[in-house]
Amino acid sequence: MTGEQHRVCSALAPFGTSIFTEMSALAIRSKAVNLSQGFPDFDGPHDLLEAAAKAIIDGPNQYTPSAGLATLREAIAAKMQRFYDVEVDPRDEVTITSGATEGLAATLLGLLEPGDEVVLLEPCYDLYPPIIARAGGTAVYVSLGQPGFELDFEALKEALTDRTRAIVVNNPQNPCGKVFIREELTRLGELCQQHNILVLGDEVYEHLVYDGRSHHTLLSIPALRDRAIVVSSTAKTFSMTGWKVGMVIAAPGLTEAVRMSHQFLTFCTPGAFQRAMAKGIGMSHSYYRDLLSLYTAKRQRLCDGLDELGFDVHAPQGTYYASIDITKLDFEDDLAFCRYLATNVGVAAIPSSYFWHQRREGTHWVRFCFCKKDKTLDQALERLRRWKR
Ligand SMILES: Cc1ncc(COP(=O)(O)O)c(C=O)c1O
């Protein structure tokens, strides 16, 4: 085979290896405490581990229906009613995917036509641009204001054209921790109705919203009920990122498009994990409350610790990421800072500029995750303290 035949396709080649892969590899090489990629260093509820193990032993261990097991789809519909007062038909409006990752890809691949434009609100999760490109679409970027990450509706309106097919709203938003308030989503809904465009909601951090704020799913906004495709995941809510059980919830016509591509991507998600997650999603309110208390305490532990060390800390409204502004530190940029930190201090973080299309907009932000055991967070803070001294 020639080098030409081994080439990555032109849509994906410009994106290179993800910064998460690079920083996690550097963390392992440097034996750094890894606060870079967002996965917990603990497992979720023991009951769910047992439920999955039992489901494997009891079987069946075969393909499930492509849309997902009815028990899980029903549990998701019940949860949408219980938490958000949104009625969802589990048969025609819920699809189980292999993580939100596949759910997002299935949605974009199932709905976009070549030439369609998709608006992304920066800083944005790194999956959207390459999948939009692979689907033949074009990403159009609108930056949230800094340092508060407000959405400028005038800038958003200016970004819309007659080719705009959708806007992606990641709420709560990774990496900046923004939580959209209901008024913003209502305004967004009106705009989408006027321009006849869809909204793709990435709501994987829906249960991690702090300080008494509420999560408003896009499907609870009347103007968006039939034009929003909401993607979520069990990964963050149940601390089982490796199980890859995600979901897409949308009106029947949109669900049909999602299922069309999902059947050719993975066809279905492992049945044992689906059965265990049906149990997880059905757990009582106290589980969700305890999860939020756990993360509220971890957010405080990390943010207070960084603050005491003199860092300029941006505590998130939602998600499990906190950021620091490194403008006043003597580093060329966030990447140089993160490489130095992992190699010389023994703490791995993510240079947030990679969440912007034009990296220069975010080279002063560095993201740390706090989905870690307290002792891991303390160890990272201790290493930073020693360095600062
Ligand atoms: C904003 C956002 N969307 C999607 C995902 C992927 O979710 P999953 O692990 O369910 O594929 C992540 C994971 O970090 C994320 O931060």
Tell me if 204 sits within 8 A of 240, measured CB to CB: no
Give Cβ neighbours of residue 39 (< 8 Å, ≥ 6 apart): 241, 242, 371
At 87-113, the pLDDT tens digits run 999 999 999 999 999 999 999 999 999
From the CB of 204, is ligand 1 less than 6 Å away?
yes
**174 CA: nearest ligand 1 atom:** 1
At 123-133, the pLDDT tens digits run 999 999 999 99
From the CB of 277, is ligand 1 less than 6 Å away?
no
From the CB of 64, is ligand 1 less than 6 Å away?
no
Distance, in Å, from the CA atom of 253 to the CA atom of 248, rounded to the nearest integer, reads 13
Tokens representing 348? 């791995």
Indicate the top mutation candidate among 21, 35, 179, 204 to test ligand 1's pocket, ranked by most ligand atoms within 8 A of CB: 204
Average pLDDT over residues 215-219: 98
Tokens representing 276? 């265990």
From the CB of 123, is ligand 1 less than 6 Å away?
no
From the CB of 125, is ligand 1 less than 6 Å away?
yes
- The protein residue whose alpha carbon is closest to atom 16 in ligand 1 is 174
Distance, in Å, from the CA atom of 303 to the CA atom of 211, rounded to the nearest integer, reads 14
In which order are the strands placed within the sheet that holds 312-314? 312-314, 321-325, 365-369, 350-351
The model carries a pTM of 0.97
From the CB of 233, is ligand 1 less than 6 Å away?
yes
Sequence spans of domains, the chain: 3-44+286-388, 62-283
pLDDT surpassing 70 at residue 1: no
From the CB of 230, is ligand 1 less than 6 Å away?
no
d(CA 204, ligand 1 centre) in Å: 6
Length of the chain, please? 389
Tell me if 370 sits within 8 A of 301, measured CB to CB: yes
In the prediction, which pLDDT does 3 show?
Answer: 65
d(CA 205, ligand 1 centre) in Å: 9
In the prediction, which pLDDT does 264 show?
Answer: 98
In the prediction, which pLDDT does 387 show?
Answer: 96
Question: 187-210: buried (b, 16+ CB within 10 Å) or exposed (e) per residue?
Answer: bbbebbeeeebbbbbbbbbbbbbb
Tell me if 284 sits within 8 A of 75, measured CB to CB: no
State whether the Cα torsion 151-157-158-159 is positive or negative: positive
| Percent of all residues in the chain with a pLDDT value above 70, rounded to a whole number | 99
In the prediction, which pLDDT does 389 show?
Answer: 86
Average pLDDT over residues 327-344: 96
Tell me if 320 sits within 8 A of 371, measured CB to CB: yes
Superfamily grouping for domain 3-44+286-388: Aspartate Aminotransferase, domain 1 (3.90.1150.10)
In the prediction, which pLDDT does 207 show?
Answer: 98
d(CA 91, ligand 1 centre) in Å: 24
Indicate the top mutation candidate among 20, 35, 107, 125 to test ligand 1's pocket, ranked by most ligand atoms within 8 A of CB: 125
At 191-202, the pLDDT tens digits run 999 999 999 999
**Residues paired with residue 232 on neighbouring β-strands, in sequence order:** 247
d(CA 2, ligand 1 centre) in Å: 36
Closest CA to 231 of 200, 262, 210: 200
From the CB of 177, is ligand 1 less than 6 Å away?
no
- Per-chain mean pLDDT for the chain: 97
d(CA 318, ligand 1 centre) in Å: 14
From the CB of 269, is ligand 1 less than 6 Å away?
no
In the prediction, which pLDDT does 2 show?
Answer: 62
Indicate the top mutation candidate among 98, 101, 247 to test ligand 1's pocket, ranked by most ligand atoms within 8 A of CB: 101
d(CA 283, ligand 1 centre) in Å: 22
pLDDT surpassing 90 at residue 17: no
At 23-81, the pLDDT tens digits run 999 999 999 999 999 999 999 999 999 999 999 999 999 999 999 999 999 999 999 99
Average pLDDT over residues 253-268: 98
Indicate the top mutation candidate among 126, 233, 239 to test ligand 1's pocket, ranked by most ligand atoms within 8 A of CB: 233
Tokens representing 163? 């080719």
Q: How many CA atoms lie within 13 A of 46 on its CB side?
A: 0
CATH number of 62-283: 3.40.640.10
- Quick one: DSSP state of residue 111? H
- Quick one: DSSP state of residue 217? -
Distance, in Å, from the CA atom of 172 to the CA atom of 152, rounded to the nearest integer, reads 17
DSSP string, 25-90: HHHHHTT-EE-SSS--SS---HHHHHHHHHHHHH---SPPPTT--HHHHHHHHHHHHHHH-----T
d(CA 100, ligand 1 centre) in Å: 6
